[in-house]
């Protein structure tokens, strides 16, 4: 799966506290914004690009984040949080 293909799958937003090992995830209102963000991510060993789309009361949301193999090795648990939807 290429990293842009992840946006074709309906996936719930990450839970936001790191238990799912998804870090630094961002939410976008448009797919082109999500694709642009995804292309700029540089993964380290043990990391994988994840994401998808979901819906809220306004419409479709696309999200992109990084799944890490070991949250403690990755770094600061407080930095797991998401970054909100762009208009």
The count of structural domains within the chain is 1
Identify the pLDDT of residue 24: 86
Stated pTM of the model: 0.83
User: Which two tokens mark 63?
Assistant: 């999200």
Highest mean pLDDT range out of 5-9, 71-75, 77-81? Answer: 5-9
Identify the pLDDT of residue 1: 43
DSSP state of 44: P
Average pLDDT over residues 32-48: 92
Round to whole Å and give the CA distance between 62 and 48. 17
Average pLDDT over residues 25-37: 94
Could you tell me which residues come within 8 angstroms of residue 14 by beta carbon, excluding any fewer than 6 positions away? Answer: 20, 22, 25, 63, 65, 82
Long-range contacts of 38-44 (CB under 8 A, 24+ apart): 38/3, 38/4, 38/6, 38/7, 38/64, 39/3, 39/4, 41/3, 41/66
Range of the domain at 27: 5-86
């Amino acid at each position: 799966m290429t990293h842009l293909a992840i946006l074709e799958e309906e996936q719930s937003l990450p839970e936001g506290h790191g238990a799912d090992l998804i870090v630094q995830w961002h939410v976008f209102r448009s797919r082109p914004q999500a694709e642009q963000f995804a292309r700029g991510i540089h993964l380290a060993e043990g990391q994988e690009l994840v994401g998808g789309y979901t819906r809220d009361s306004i419409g479709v949301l696309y999200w992109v984040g990084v799944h890490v193999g070991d949250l403690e090795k990755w770094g600061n648990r407080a930095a797991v949080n998401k970054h909100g939807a762009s208009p």
